[in-house]
Structure 1
Amino acid sequence: MKLSRCFLAGLACIIMTTQTSLAAMQDQGTNGKVEWGVVRQFQITSSPVDIAHSLDGKYAFVLTKNSEVLIYDIKGALLGTIPVNKGVTSIALDPLGQFLHLSDSENDKFYTLAIDFVVDINTVDAPFKGKKDAPVTVAVFSDFQ
């Protein structure tokens, strides 16, 4: 009788372990001297292949199996999509966040893309001089000398 109880207890442990491994990722946990907790998660349209993020944590770049790079902001909003060759297998962002590097193992190529973000500026009720519909150019100087 004791043997069958041990067998049933062992079988229950195996079933529980299998069910746990099939479940979604745990939100937090501890193992040895490591603790983890999910800070944010994004629902993406295709399986991820590689990921890169800006050093300031504002942007995440996700290379997918659909041969595209999805760009998310810190809140999880999709900002844009960049189509890439099917051979692209890894991505990396330069330290300043200005260039996205792609390695294409199928075509033996390495690409560097310049990354810029379009920002809408609300000018409603702002004072202006000249024609209301005149073209405007904005120059940004970031060298702060």
Structure 2
Amino acid sequence: MKISVEITGIFLSAVMSLFTGIASAQPIDIDWTPVGQIKLESPPLDVDSTADGELVFVLMPGKVVVYNESANHQLNQIPVDQGYNRLTYSTETETLILTSSITNDLKVIHIDQVYKISVEGSPFLGPENAPVTIAVFDDYECPYCAKMEAVFSQLLAKYPEDLKLVIKQYPLRNHPNARQAALAVMAAHKQGKFWEFHSQLFANYKELSIQKMDEIAESFDLDMKQFRKDILSHDVLKLIVRDVREGQKIGVSGTPSIFLNGKQVKNPTFRNLDQLIERELAK
């Protein structure tokens, strides 16, 4: 028993020493690479950035200037009162917080990142030039995507002249039939049956298989020879790869990911989407 205790003590001492060494390790040098530089038009009062570094906020007298991650291109500027001299960005709430040590004022500004989403070649419902566009990154084995179909139907019925719904393909890797479903629905699109096929895929999302997709195709009297050919075509694959890469680029990590006029919607309930549409139409 005594030997065991002594060995255990030595082992624990060695482990603690190892972790202590890791915790206290110091860098021996730094490496640095200039990312960007720009001449500001007036002295900056404060600066902050988003957690991913994609946006840089520079507070100047009377305004906040927003730059891209390389600080070589101005994206926008926000007018503020002259007295504000401190700025911070909250990643959790996506807000800019401005304070003034002169007037003791505090101002909070919500920031929405706006993305340009390609819709060329993507199926859509509603007017092509509608003032509001909802782009949805979908996966046909995603139960939440299936549930959103009813919400979109309600919105399209309420805003027949003002809303355009665009479907983007984003099959997730953990859904074994989602990629084949994306290929199949875009092949059906080439025969003018996208929305019918789209609806049936979601109606059967729990039991998707190649056989089920063939059954759906046959039920719409598709040219099956052409359908199977289009599933393997470069044109169909190219559209899906474009959607996936675009989604990855703008931070899509799950489905459904919904963007309204380029701004991601974090709480896509009917009520919230309805309010956001009204806000866009009021601009």
TM range (shorter): 0.5 to 0.7
* Secondary structure class of the residue paired with 2:121: coil
Structure 1: where are the runs of 5+ without partners?
1-32
The one-letter amino acid of 1:53's match is: S
- When the two structures are superposed, what TM-score results if normalisation uses the length of structure 1? 0.62
Change (3 A) 1:87 1:126: same
Change (3 A) 1:131 1:112: closer
1:132 aligned onto 2:124: no
| Deviation of the 1:87 alpha carbon | 0.8
Change (3 A) 1:130 1:56: closer
Determine the C-alpha separation between the residues in 2 that align with 1:112 and 1:83: 13
Conserved 8 A contact 1:54-1:97: no
Determine the C-alpha separation between the residues in 1 that align with 2:126 and 2:53: 40
1:83 aligned onto 2:79: yes
Question: Which stretch has the larger CA shift, 128-137 or 67-76?
Answer: 128-137
| Deviation of the 1:108 alpha carbon | 1.6
* Secondary structure class of the residue paired with 1:48: coil
| Aligned positions of 1:1-145 closer than 5 A | 37=32, 39-40=34-35, 41-64=37-60, 66-75=61-70, 76-96=72-92, 98-138=94-134, 139=258, 140=264, 142=266
* Secondary structure class of the residue paired with 1:88: coil
Change (3 A) 1:36 1:45: farther
Question: Which stretch has the larger CA shift, 99-108 or 119-128?
Answer: 119-128
Determine the C-alpha separation between the residues in 2 that align with 1:90 and 1:101: 8
Conserved 8 A contact 1:89-1:103: yes
Change (3 A) 1:135 1:105: same
Structure 2: where are the runs of 5+ without partners?
1-27, 135-257, 259-263, 268-283
- Tell which structure's C-alpha radius of gyration is larger: 2
* Secondary structure class of the residue paired with 1:116: coil
Change (3 A) 1:121 1:129: same
Number of equivalent positions: 110
What whole-Å deviation, never above 9, does each CA across 1:99-121 have from its counterpart, x for those lacking one? 00000223221111101122222
Bigger share in helix: 2
Bigger share in strand: 1
Conserved 8 A contact 1:104-1:110: yes
Moved over 6 A (4+): none
| Deviation of the 1:84 alpha carbon | 1.1
Q: CA RMSD in A?
A: 2.5
Determine the C-alpha separation between the residues in 2 that align with 1:49 and 1:58: 20
- When the two structures are superposed, what TM-score results if normalisation uses the length of structure 2? 0.34
Conserved 8 A contact 1:55-1:96: no
